[in-house]
Amino acid sequence: MQLILKIIFFMLIFSNTSNAQSKFQSLIEYQNSNIIKPSVKTAPFVINSIQTFNGEISNKFLLAWQLKKLWYRKDDYSIFLVEKHSNTEYATIDLETGKSLGLAKKNTIKQIKPNSGVRRLIGSALVTSQLNSSILINRISSLDSIGRNPKAIHLQPLRNAILKESDTNLKIQMERLERILSVKFEINEVKRIEAIRSFDNDLSLDVRASLNPILNTTLELSKSPPKQGTYAQIIDMKNPSKFNRYQAYDMIVKEGWAIKYITSEMKRSSLIENIKDGEVSGIKIKNLHTNLSRDLAYSRLVNSDLAPKDVTESQIQSAIDGTFFYEKYIEKSPNVILATQQTLNKIKTKVYIARGIDLFLDALSLASIFFLAAIGLAITFGVMGVINMAHGEFIMMGAYTGYLVQQYIPNYTISIILALPIAFAVTFFAGILMERLIIRHLYHRPLETLLATFGVSIALQQLAKNIFGTQARPLTSPDWLGGSMIINDVISISWIRVAILCLSIIFFALLWFTLNKTRLGLETRAVTQNPQMAASMGINPHKINMLTFGLGSGIAGIAGVAIGLFAKVTSELGNDYIVQSFMTVVVGGVGNIWGTLAGAAMIGFLQKSIEWFNPSNTLAAQTFMIVFIIIFIQFRPRGIIALKGRAAGD
């Protein structure tokens, strides 16, 4: 209030002076501290007073303020624009005249940084002028401003602007925004309902954001039943969800229809207040260690008027029974309410379906990530029967390879395209090395392979820590993978996940083809099923094992690049995926990649559905999923897709 008075006072003084520019300067000087340290509390007044100066300068100033282009000098708090001159020096420019004010050392000046709340206010204030701007970008940004902070005063300028708009796309957007504003602010009921109805099948967020508030309610109490049509629902007090009986009773007390309930805490303090000579109304303190004796002492206090009367449970109940609790609409017009309800109901069904689809996409994406992480394992473990605990570390190696490639090739697109084959090569050779040095000696001792590869796993993990440090390393996706595929405001999936999905489909096809249609695949299967026989048929089992293992490891490398892109690159990356990967393979069924596909799909979809039911606790979803898998394996020990016949032998 004081501020407004000040502004009026100030304007009175300066309206007499002739020079408009100096008036503006003086205003800025007057509001100096509020401009330099802007806050939502003071900004409306500052903006208002600046806007009273019609003309280019006030808008120019506000825009510069909004875009953080204003700077000030630390010693005299003068405000100006700057241009970078060198690392330590900036050229300062007068806001109004555009004249240079000379160079300033960087440490003597400071940027003015309004927060996003203030920026929103400025944007909102600039709407009218920007809507009429001849520059397209200004008009677009004005629409953003309206969308962020819709106000009733925007409605008319927007309608005017629509008539003048020449750009068709923008015009459509403007018309849509006009309808949204109409839903909120149109005074004419018929027009308003028309605007509401026009959104019948639109599930956009901004539409729902404008429709839902119409149905906002307040909680009301009354002793007689409320009038039909003015309330959303009468709350069933036998089974209230939002508040408990005592809270309900408190509300009744607040209305003055009942006396206050005495909590055990209050009883206790009353007793304490009335302690006399180690006794409370004749009962020794040391005996007051049960609720029964305390109640007795309290009732004696009530009888001697030393404490307020207690309320019994039945009194509470009858008070509640005699009261109606209902949710009353804030909106007055029943017609508007009805129209909104009908429109929202139509939207709601669509939203449910859309959310279902979105969840499906999420689950599909999760399944593809699990699949990609596990598919290499499906080959080494599933086909060859080798337990490779270091599989996770191969994934990690792939991710770090991606990071290293990006260090040398700054173009993200090229570096990702290069990183995939390089990661494959690196882990392919690492796999071959491991097969030659370790696994070859342990083909007949599968449990020991587990242990030896675990040794490799901890060594590799620590090695990665020693080389790359413990901090997470950036692996950035190129811009074309940066955003999301947005179908509507409910269904969207990030491009990087789509890419991972594609990658896993490609690898599935590739592997299936390799294993089933090529010579290498045939030989691999032969060696897996009967190495002696295969050897006598002229196949070199050593070579085949080596190549198969390399292939499995190489795919892990590629999975590493993909996972690093959407999550993080740390030395513990592989650790997060190893148990999950093993379970994917085991659940799906060992020995063929269809099984892995089925396993990944099951785990992905299961986890997402559990999350759907319990959205606030992701950890619980993971726990339940594992428990489910354990139980599932009891009933299908060979997995979803079990091999039959001889191949299924241990």
Partner 1 sequence: MKSVLVKFLINNPSVLIFFLILSFITAFITIGSEAFGYGFISTSLIKVLGKTLCFCLLAIAMDLVWGYCGILSLGHFAFFGLGGYMIGMWLMYERTKLIVIEAGKNAELPMTIQEVQNAIGAQIFGVVGGSEFPIIWAFADFFWVQLFLVILVPGLLALVFGWLAFRSRVTGVYLSILTQAMTLALALYLFQNDSGLRGNNGLSGLQNLPGLELIPQSIISIWFFWGSAAALGLGFILIKLIVESKLGNIIRGIRDNEQRMRFLGYNVETYKLFIFTLTAIIAAIAGALYYPQAGIINPAELTPIASIYLAVWVAIGGRGRIYGAVIGATFVSLLSSWLTGGQAPNISLGFIELKWVDWWLVLLGISFVIVTLYAPKGIGGLFDKFTKGISK
Partner 2 sequence: MKKFILASALTSLCMSSATADIKVGILHSLSGTMAISETTLKDTMLMLIDQQNEKGGINGEKIVPVVVDPASNWPLFAEKARELLTVEKVDVIFGNWTSVSRKSVLPVIEELNGLLFYPVQYEGEESSKNVFYTGAAPNQQAIPATDYYLEELGVEKFALLGTDYVYPRTTNNILEQYLKDKGIDEEDIFVNYTPFGHSDWSKIVADVLALGADGKKVGVISTINGDANIGFYKELAAAGVSADDIPVIAFSVGEEELAGLDTTNLVGHLAAWNYFQSAEGSVNTNFIKTWKETMGEDRVTNDPMEAHYIGFNMWVNAVKDAGSTEVDAVRAQMYGQKFPNLTGGMAVMLPNHHLSKPVLIGEIQDDGQFDIISQTSEVDGDAWTDFLPSSAVLKSDWKDLGCGMYNLETKSCVQIKSNY
**Which CB, 40 or 234, lies closer to partner 2?**
40
* E-strand stretches of 436-591: 484-486, 492-494
User: How far apart (Å, rounded) are the C-alpha atoms in residues 175 and 163?
Assistant: 10
- Picked from partner 2, partner 1, none, the partner binding residue 356 (CB below 5 to 8 A depending on kind) is none
Question: 3-state DSSP call for residue 328?
Answer: strand
Which parts of 529-558 interact with partner 1 (CB under 8 A)? none
Q: List the one residue from 366, 399, 452, 573 that touches partner 1 (CB under 8 A).
A: 452
- Picked from partner 2, partner 1, none, the partner binding residue 456 (CB below 5 to 8 A depending on kind) is partner 1
Stretch that binds partner 1, among 321-329, 355-363, 509-517, 616-624 (CB under 8 A): 616-624
**Which CB, 38 or 639, lies closer to partner 1?**
639
CB 101 within 8 Å of CB 93: yes
Nearby residues of 602 by Cβ (< 8 Å), 6 or more positions away: 587, 588, 640
**Which CB, 74 or 99, lies closer to partner 2?**
74
Stretch that binds partner 1, among 400-408, 420-428, 581-589, 599-607 (CB under 8 A): 581-589
* E-strand stretches of 178-223: 217-222
Q: List the one residue from 227, 238, 276, 286 that touches partner 1 (CB under 8 A).
A: 286
Stretch that binds partner 2, among 3-11, 85-93, 318-326, 352-360 (CB under 8 A): 352-360
**Which CB, 21 or 115, lies closer to partner 2?**
115
User: How far apart (Å, rounded) are the C-alpha atoms in residues 383 and 525?
Assistant: 7
- Picked from partner 2, partner 1, none, the partner binding residue 190 (CB below 5 to 8 A depending on kind) is none
Stretch that binds partner 2, among 52-60, 131-139, 221-229, 489-497 (CB under 8 A): 489-497
Is residue 634 within the footprint of partner 1 (CB under 8 A)?
yes
Reported as half-sphere exposure (CB side, CA atoms, 13 A), residue 28 has a value of 23
Distance in Å, CB of 217 to partner 2, minimum:
11
Taking CA atoms, 532 is separated from 307, 432, 528, 535, 550, in Å, by: 95, 22, 10, 5, 22
User: How far apart (Å, rounded) are the C-alpha atoms in residues 71 and 104?
Assistant: 11
CB 384 within 8 Å of CB 397: no
Stretch that binds partner 1, among 158-166, 287-295, 415-423, 495-503 (CB under 8 A): 287-295
Burial 565-580 (b: 16+ CB within 10 A, else e): bbbebbbebbbbbbeb
Instruction: Say how many C-beta atoms besides its own lie within 10 A of residue 496's C-beta.
Output: 19
Is residue 377 within the footprint of partner 1 (CB under 8 A)?
no
Judged by CB under 8 A, how many residues of this single chain contact partner 1? Answer: 55
Tell me 380's DSSP state.
Answer: I
Is residue 609 within the footprint of partner 1 (CB under 8 A)?
no
Nearby residues of 418 by Cβ (< 8 Å), 6 or more positions away: 405, 409
Is residue 303 within the footprint of partner 2 (CB under 8 A)?
no
Is residue 109 within the footprint of partner 2 (CB under 8 A)?
no
Distance in Å, CB of 526 to partner 1, minimum:
22
Is residue 413 within the footprint of partner 2 (CB under 8 A)?
no
- Picked from partner 1, partner 2, none, the partner binding residue 192 (CB below 5 to 8 A depending on kind) is none
User: How far apart (Å, rounded) are the C-alpha atoms in residues 451 and 548?
Assistant: 21
Reported as half-sphere exposure (CB side, CA atoms, 13 A), residue 293 has a value of 12
**Dihedral of CA 359/362/368/370: which sign?**
negative
User: How far apart (Å, rounded) are the C-alpha atoms in residues 545 and 135?
Assistant: 67
Q: List the one residue from 144, 255, 448, 479 that touches partner 1 (CB under 8 A).
A: 448
Distance in Å, CB of 461 to partner 2, minimum:
10
Taking CA atoms, 420 is separated from 61, 280, 370, 398, 557, in Å, by: 50, 82, 18, 8, 8
Is residue 345 within the footprint of partner 2 (CB under 8 A)?
no
Which parts of 490-509 interact with partner 2 (CB under 8 A)? 490, 492-497
Distance in Å, CB of 634 to partner 1, minimum:
5
Q: What residues does 111 pair with on adjacent strands? A: 71
Is residue 186 within the footprint of partner 2 (CB under 8 A)?
no
Q: List the one residue from 4, 205, 533, 648 that touches partner 2 (CB under 8 A).
A: 205
| Residue 380: exposure state from Cβ atoms within 10 A (0-12, 13-18, ≥19) | buried
Measured between alpha carbons, how far apart are the two ends of the chain, in Å?
85
User: How far apart (Å, rounded) are the C-alpha atoms in residues 398 and 564?
Assistant: 8
Contacting residues toward partner 2, per CB under 8 A: 39-41, 107, 110, 113-120, 148, 205, 208-210, 212-213, 242, 355, 358-359, 362, 365-366, 369, 462, 465, 470-474, 476, 482-484, 486, 489-490, 492-497, 563, 566-570, 572, 576, 608, 611, 615-619, 622
Per CB under 8 A, residues contacting partner 1 are 268, 271-272, 275, 285-286, 288-291, 294, 387, 389, 438, 441-442, 445-448, 450-452, 454-463, 465-466, 575, 579, 582-583, 586, 617, 619-620, 622-623, 626-627, 629-631, 633-635, 637, 650
